[in-house]
Amino acid sequence: MTPVFALVDCNNFYVSCERLFNPSLKNSPIIVLSNNDGCVIARSQEAKDFGIEMAVPAFKIKHLIKQHNIRVYSSNYALYGDISSRVMATLESMAPQIEIYSIDEAFLNLTGFSSLGSLEDYGQKIRQTIGQHVGVPACVGLAPTKTLAKLANHAAKKYAATEGVVDLTNPERQRKLMSITSVDEVWGVGRKNAEKLDQLGIKTVLQLAQMNKARAKSHFSISMVKTIEELNGLVRFALDESPAAKKQLMCSRSFSERITAYDPLREAVCEFAARAAERLRNGGQVCGAVNVFIRTGICDENERCYSNTATGKLSSPSSDTRTILKVATDLFDSIWKEGYRYAKAGVMLGDFCDPNKVQLDLFAEPSTQINDEGLMSVIDKINQGGRGKVWFGGQRPQEDWFMKRAHLSPAYTTRWDDLPNVN
């Protein structure tokens, strides 16, 4: 039986969450800002139409915000996380298997569903059900591989005539869409590879699909060969498999107020380390190196500057929060200096590898942490469930103290005090 994957992706997700509890925002231009109200991370279509780019710093578009009366929101992750889990719960009821790919995206295995009726109709049903149960808009792409499903979803978003659903199971349609789509839209290709492909004369997705595999292998990694095969309808990425593993992972913040004391800065570093470790586990990887940095802001002549960074190796690769926390706090202690006003800190994990191919250190002490995988997966489940958090001693999980969130909407669905009132 030909496999069928669906990629369901919510439209302008953060903006749609904000609109959900504030219907007056419908059709008005909205943007959502990153932590500390720094950069634009989500835009409604109306805001896009006014030329507001993704990732632009908020202060650079002050005039546009004023001129077009654009509504500005601080990111409200309590709300987005909860709406996301409702979308995912709805999707789980509509497919035998799903892979939650990001906060607003999931792959569904719909193999065999075409014998029950048109796949396009089922895609519409998915959209309608999410609309009915949760209230946010989404697009659906259907295809025999995940890479093609991503492409189908891209088309469903881009072309209004599709009404939000593209069934790309037909090879003729696949070729047609691939011939008019730029190669940088392909899942896992990335900007750097797209530039390299461009230099090789490969500009459209169809050209990539027709690229000689040996040639691809000589210029790129094996992942590119798999991508080419996926574009030709061969499943190379099953559910829970992705084309490119990340090479490093960074978690850092600028503080809304300078930090001068040891304890709060150490807590911040622990928090970043714990979050990075969680993201590492989500990607199914382990890391071999941890880097910690702390720095003061831009200093005038009255203020002393200090910036330092330290990197440590793990005795054997791990994704255990406790191991990573221990290394991160030791590194922090080695660079901490009293008497400065710190503006930013961060933790970066690197030296990634596949947990199944870990080389153990012959001379290292055997791990005393028993059943760490089980413990970590329980912690991740609790923390990602949206109902509460558990954390390690060094962390300080309230994020509000280092974030500026001047335009935050209420946590409508997760805090009793914030429940919307109906008169």
What does the binding site for Mg ion look like in residue numbers (CB under 5 A)?
Answer: 9-10, 13, 104
Work out how close the CB of 192 gets to Mg ion at its nearest, in angstroms, rounded to a whole number: 23
Write down the least CB distance from residue 7 to Mg ion, Å: 10
Quote the least distance from Cβ 129 to Mg ion, whole Å: 17
**CB closer to Mg ion out of 14 and 332:** 14
Q: Which is nearer to Mg ion, 106 or 277 (CB)?
A: 106
The alpha-carbon radius of gyration of the chain (Å, integer) is: 23
Of 157 and 219, which has the nearer Cβ to Mg ion? 157
Q: How far apart are CA 238 and CA 98, in angstroms?
A: 11
Tell me which residue of 374, 286, 266, 272 sits closest to 329, measured CA to CA: 266
| Contact yes or no for 319/281 (Cβ under 8 A) | yes
With a CB cutoff of 8 Å and minimum separation 6, the contacts of 263 are: none
Residue 64 amino acid letter: L
Q: Judged by CB, which is closer to Mg ion: 188, or 346?
A: 188
Q: Which is nearer to Mg ion, 159 or 401 (CB)?
A: 159
User: Could you tell me which of 245, 379, 241, 247 has the C-alpha nearest to residue 320?
Assistant: 379
- Least distance (Å) between residue 179 CB and Mg ion: 25
Minimum gap (Å) between residue 42 Cβ and Mg ion: 9
Task: List 286's β-bridge partners, or say none.
Answer: 353
Which of residues 9 and 46 has its CB atom nearest to Mg ion in the complex? 9
DSSP result, 263-280: HHHHHHHHHHHHHHHHHH
Minimum distance from residue 232 beta carbon to Mg ion (Å) = 26
Instruction: Measure the CA–CA gap between 234 and 229, rounded to whole angstroms.
Output: 5
